Amino acid sequence: KYLVQSSRDNVHLYDFHIVYSFSYKVPVLYFQGLQAGGQLLTLDEIKKDLPPHSLQLLNESKWTFITREEHPHLSRPWFTLHPCGTSDWMKLLLHKLGDKDRSLQYLPAWLSVAGQAVGLKIPLKLYYLFKATCL
C-alpha cells in the first residue's frame, strides 16, 4: 500500500501487486488507486497523482503504457503497466550481466523501471536487502 497526498484535503491510497504473466513470461505490475472513502480512482485521477517524470515516461516510451484488465487472482479490473515490451527492455537493461547475476538482478531492475513509470518509489534499502538474501 502506498499513500499519496494529491491535494491539501485529498489522500489517495494505492495498492500494487506483482503477478507473473505466463503469456508474456515476465512480471506484471497491477495497481489501483482509492480515494479516502474507498471509491476507485479513474486513470485520469491516477495520472494527476503521478510525478512529471512518470507522466513523461508514459507519454514518450513505446514500451510503457497503462491498460485496464482483470486481475488474474482477484477477478476484478485493475490497472496494469502493459507487459508487451517488458522482455525487450529487460534484455537491454541486463545484457551485460552473466546468467547468475541476471537472475539475481532481474526483479529489482524490473521493479525500478516499472515502479518509476507509475510513480512508485523503491527504497534503495529494499534493493540491497533483496540482493543480500539472494546471495
DSSP class of residue 25 equals T
Note the pLDDT of residue 19: 96
CA–CA separation, 63 vs 85, rounded Å?
5
Cβ–Cβ < 8 Å for 78, 69? yes
pLDDT band at 45 (very low <50, low <70, confident <90, very high): very high
Residue partners of 12: CB distance under 8 A and separation at least 6: 3, 4, 6, 33, 34, 35, 36, 41, 45, 49
Cβ–Cβ < 8 Å for 12, 2? no
Residues 86-98: pLDDT tens digits? 888 888 888 877 7
User: Catalytic site residue 84?
Assistant: yes
Instruction: Give the global pTM.
Output: 0.81
* Domain count of the fold of the chain: 1
DSSP class of residue 89 equals H
Structural domain including 83 reads 2-132
Q: Percent of the chain at pLDDT above 70?
A: 81
Selected catalytic residue, list 40, 84, 93, 97? 84
**Can you give the CATH number for the domain in which 10 is found?**
3.30.1460
CA–CA separation, 9 vs 74, rounded Å?
30
Note the pLDDT of residue 135: 55
Cβ–Cβ < 8 Å for 92, 6? no
State the number of CA atoms in the 13 A half-sphere of 59 facing the CB.
8
Please give the average per-residue pLDDT across 51-78, as a whole number.
87
32-41, 73-82, 89-98, 120-129: range with lowest mean pLDDT: 120-129
Note the pLDDT of residue 32: 95
